[in-house]
Structure 1
């Protein structure tokens, strides 16, 4: 069932028209730094947490499609975590946040049901 949800979510993202970027960036005040996402998860909703970089074209395209999906489903809560520290001029693979997850590719998506990660992986 959960694998089917991931496949359906991915298909909807790829087929959705482009919209504005989601605005819920959880680490806006300290981008790229260590972050505990558990505190911000919404109970009773499917939480989609996207790790991204403003310097990653794939991340930005994915975020535009994700906003369309989120606006169509009230049970979906989308949150973003920017891996780039404030002075970054390219994808900040050495940031504490990127190192915590050993990120090698972006965007990196984690689906949570409450506080338990259901699926995680790259686009």
Structure 2
């Protein structure tokens, strides 16, 4: 897998095909480099291979649920499905790529698209 340059817009990139033949997950250094492109996201290193996580806050339940549904639409459209947990006024989105056993560029592309929803 290739890592986009910092000047590349993650939202404009297409997801890469992942699998055991596409190469290994991003290294910790690769994850750190990609984190510079998705503000506020963190890597949960307690999960083997890492999990890209961010919690979003909203003024009420209706807006939280609308955001959850919009994230679900992105996930379906991209065929890349995060773990989503939400409550009255917050939503936590967590990405990783099971087929590579950790984080891939796709996780960061999807994170950037989720950020675009929240903007």
Q: Considering the TM-score relative to the shorter chain, is it more than 0.5?
A: no
> TM-score, normalised on structure 2?
0.33
> TM-score, normalised on structure 1?
0.32
- The answer to which structure has the higher helix fraction is 2
- The answer to which structure has the higher strand fraction is 1
